[in-house]
Amino acid sequence: MKTTTLILGCGDIGMALGRELHEAGHRVIGARRNPRALEGSGLEAVAVDLNDPATLVGLPDADTLVYVVSADRFDEAAYRAAYLDGLTAVLGEFAGRDAVPGRVFFVSSTSVYAQRDGEVVDETSPTEPAGFSGLLMREAEQVLIDHDLAGTVVRFSGIYGPGRDRLIHQVSEGRIAPSSPVMYSNRIHRDDCAGVLAHLIGRQLSGEPLESLYLASDCEPAPLNEVMAWLATQLKVEATETIQSPLRRRASKRCDNTRLIESGYRFRYPSFREGYAQVLKEGCFLPEKA
């Protein structure tokens, strides 16, 4: 029998995950406000408004739920609606059904960490976010962890990949982060986001144990200056301007993915070099050879 995975908020990462699961023989249903965006993806599509209980009732039962919703905009009300309120409503709906999901996966973010001085962080590190985004994400995490339904939180670091090329464009304009003070950055390729979720879902369906929390970041935290300098070399551009980000936006931590690696996951793009090489190639950013 095919297992059914329901992906709530089926955008870029959700579609990548859905295609991977579909190819592995799963029944995959993508739910989003505009299901027509899923046409041609090979996934079943349903419409949902996470803030409308009537549309939640109409969602099909599933063996696995993946909550990978994005806020419409960067403000407190949008974040509360998308993450805390939306997840709470979904859990309430599915917990009351005769056939409850085997596990709920909630896609969170390393914005829940407040460390700024190059500290190593993992799943056991303190989370004391100051901004509303991290605070609301952390509240939503706890709602799932405390819920009667089995749940796993996956904290992704900075996601990049096809269509997520802001850093490449900055470097192509000759802009680069300062080398001092060192600002560590943490990244994960979009395809590894899908791969991590597919890996954890596979463990769940095989009856293997899962933790309630995983930190998903690639294997090499690196200074932002180093990442951008490497990109400049690949693009054959010279840095002419140093970016000075506002203090309130500066973060510098090093994400430790040991728990995820020990679960058996192997990164497709273990560092920014392999990942950005793929993005540069696919995006036709690399200069033509003479």
Each residue of 13-61: pLDDT tens digit?
999 999 999 999 999 999 999 888 888 778 899 999 998 988 999 999 9
| CA–CA dist 14, 67 (Å, integer) | 9
CA dist list (Å): 221 to 119, 160, 251: 11, 14, 13
Query: Would you state the torsion angle of the CA atoms of residues 171, 175, 180, 182, taken in this order, to the nearest 10 degrees?
Result: -40
pLDDT at 125 exceeding the cut of 50 = yes
Tokens of 278: 């793929």
Q: How confident is the model at residue 231 (pLDDT cuts 50, 70, 90)?
A: very high
Of the two residues 288 and 161, the one the predictor is more confident about is 161
Given a contact cutoff of 8 angstroms between Cβ atoms, the answer to whether 264 and 199 are in contact is: yes
User: Is pLDDT above 90 for 290?
Assistant: no
* Mean pLDDT along residues 227-255: 83
Percent of the chain with pLDDT over 70: 95
Domains along the chain? 4-160+187-218+253-269 (3.40.50.720)
Average pLDDT, the chain: 92
Q: Which residues of 209-247 are buried (b: 16+ CB within 10 A; e: fewer)?
A: ebeebbbbbbebbbbbbbbbebbbebbebebeeeeeeee
Question: Mind listing the pLDDT tens digit for each residue in 139-191?
Answer: 999 999 999 999 999 999 999 999 898 999 999 999 999 998 899 999 999 99
**Residue in the structure block whose two tokens are 């670091």:** 157
CA–CA distance, 59 with 83 (Å, rounded to integer): 18
For residues 130 and 120, the model is more confident at 120
Number of H helices, E strands in the chain: 10, 15
Q: What are phi and psi of 112, to 5 degrees?
A: -75, -15
